[in-house]
Amino acid sequence: MPREICPSCQRPLKVCYCSALVHIPNRIKVLIIQHPQEEKHPFNTGRMAHLCLENSELIVAETLPEQALARLLEPRSALLYPSLSWLPEVPQMEAGTPQAEGLEQLVVIDATWRKSKKILHLHPVLQQLPQVSFEGALSSEYQIRHSSLENSLSTIESIAAAMAQFEPEGDFQRILRPFKRMVALQTMNVGE
């Protein structure tokens, strides 16, 4: 008999995190481009962020037609992605700068590192966007899924950190409530 699945978070009811979902108003739209394999992953946090942010859009695709992507990027956008040596040099967007004042949309790729690189290679226009990245030691609370890159955060943790910088008046740490609930539920149910 198949397990009952929550229609909102798409998790089994036993580990549904919807009771911890929050609704946060945000001025800067968050566009999440999610790889199709991530959509089906039980611990994907891109969907979780989308469920919490009032001004967000979730697109599931590995490739997007050029015109569709151009439409999606019409608002003044920046890409939330680490500074990696293989990416072209683009301006870094930092909170509090004149460039950041006009930011209308934060573009986030929700995928494994390997799949996110593929999405970037398939869409050079994303590589040309001003970039938002973090410096220093980062510590993730994502105990149930590990990254192949050191010093990395989950999608929802990255969004929370970026939005806290660009909209400091908002309480974006609250977005981590369902994330923490999911991690707690999963670690409690590991032995079952």
Q: Which domain holds residue 56?
A: 25-135+152-186
What domain count does the chain have? Answer: 1
Say if strands 77-80 and 105-110 run parallel, antiparallel, or are unpaired. parallel
- Is the Cβ–Cβ distance between 122 and 45 less than 8 Å? no
Domain-located, residue 145? no
% of residues, the chain, pLDDT over 70: 86
| d(C-alpha 175, C-alpha 52), whole Å | 6
Domain-located, residue 1? no
Domain-located, residue 34? yes
Identify each DSSP E strand in 1-143 by its residue range. 29-34, 56-60, 77-80, 105-110, 131-132
Q: How many other CB atoms are there within 10 angstroms of residue 84's CB atom?
A: 12
Domain-located, residue 11? no
pLDDT tens readout for residues 31-40 = 999 999 998 8
Prediction pTM value: 0.89
HSE of 119, CA atoms in CB hemisphere, 13 A = 26
Domain-located, residue 12? no
pLDDT tens readout for residues 39-70 = 888 788 999 999 999 999 999 999 999 999 99
Domain-located, residue 20? no
Q: Supply the pLDDT for residue 20.
A: 95
